[in-house]
Amino acid sequence: MSYVIDASVACRFLLVEDLSDKAELVLESFLKGDCDLKAPKLLVYEVGNALWKAVRQGLIGLDEAVEKLSLLIRLKIDSIDLDERMHGDILVWSVDNDSTYYDGAYVIASKATGSTLLTADDVLYEKASKEVPTLHLKDYRR
């Protein structure tokens, strides 16, 4: 199975949040080669921002945040390059669905790669499921 993951899933690989246990199952499947994970390049920026926020809130230390970000990069999740046409599609989808451009990037990346979008974001799940195959992290099964 091939999934495009968003930051709500990737953050749960690194930070203890609700559904982190499910994210761990996804990560285990990926590391065993049982599933393929992809994401637009913006994933690292969004996760980096979440780690910055965790440091600012005193949830983790800066050294730990740097190590977690390095770990994400070392996972070598397939990076999806978004071309000019895709960026236009992202903007159209985002405006049509009253959603962020970031969320639109995951939807259009899923559509372009024929992958299922995997998210822990309830709002994105509802909107994306009208456009592409979408799985909520809470429903993930190996």
What's the pLDDT tens digit per position in 95-138? 999 999 999 999 999 999 999 999 999 999 999 999 999 999 99
User: Residue 65: is its pLDDT beyond 90?
Assistant: yes
Secondary structure of residue 121 in the 3-state scheme: coil
CA atoms within 13 A on the CB side of 57: 7
Contacts of 103 by beta carbon, 8 Å cutoff, 6+ apart: 6, 94, 121, 124, 127, 128
What's the pLDDT tens digit per position in 22-54? 999 999 999 999 999 999 999 999 999 999 999
pLDDT of residue 21: 96
Reduced 3-state DSSP string for 129-142: CCCCCEEEHHHCCC
CA terminus-to-terminus distance, the chain: 10
pLDDT of residue 48: 98
What's the pLDDT band for 142 if we cut at 50, 70, 90? confident
**What domains are defined for the chain?**
2-137 (3.40.50.1010)
Query: Hey, which residues does 118 pair with through a beta bridge?
Result: 5, 135
pTM for the predicted model, two decimal places: 0.94
For residues 62 and 14, give the distance between their C-alpha atoms in angstroms, rounded to a whole number: 14
pLDDT of residue 15: 95
